[in-house]
């Protein structure tokens, strides 16, 4: 059975990211992010982490309900 772990990146920049969260992100096989518009992701990308964002899903819909349904279906 697969496991899905949901982790919040916080509201700050990379220096404010909790170490435990950082370690889990580094150890993950696959990363999905709600949006690439987060200050932490630039630094993580520079470290070689790759992730898939749901920005296109947000842009496709006019309200949040279909966005969340599509993201849940994908995951």
Residue 48 backbone zone (phi > 0: left; psi -120 to 50: alpha; other: beta): left
Q: How deeply is 37 buried, as exposed, middle or buried, from its count of CB atoms within 10 A (0-12, 13-18, 19+)?
A: exposed
pLDDT in tens, 5-63: 999 999 899 999 999 999 999 999 999 999 999 999 999 999 999 999 999 999 999 99
Q: How far is CA 49 from CA 28, 38, 70, in A?
A: 9, 14, 24
Global pTM value: 0.84
Residue-range domain boundaries for the chain: 19-74
Res 3: pLDDT = 87
**Cβ neighbours for 47, distance < 8 A, ≥ 6 positions apart:** 26
The structure tokens listed for 12 are 């700050």
């Amino acid at each position: 059975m697969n496991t899905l772990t949901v982790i919040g990146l916080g509201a700050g920049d990379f220096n404010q990211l909790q170490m435990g969260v950082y370690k889990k992100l580094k150890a993950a096989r696959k990363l999905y992010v709600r949006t690439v518009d987060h200050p932490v992701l630039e630094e993580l990308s520079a470290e070689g982490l790759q992730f898939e964002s749901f920005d296109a899903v947000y842009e496709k819909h006019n309200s949040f309900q279909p966005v969340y349904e599509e993201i849940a279906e994908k995951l």
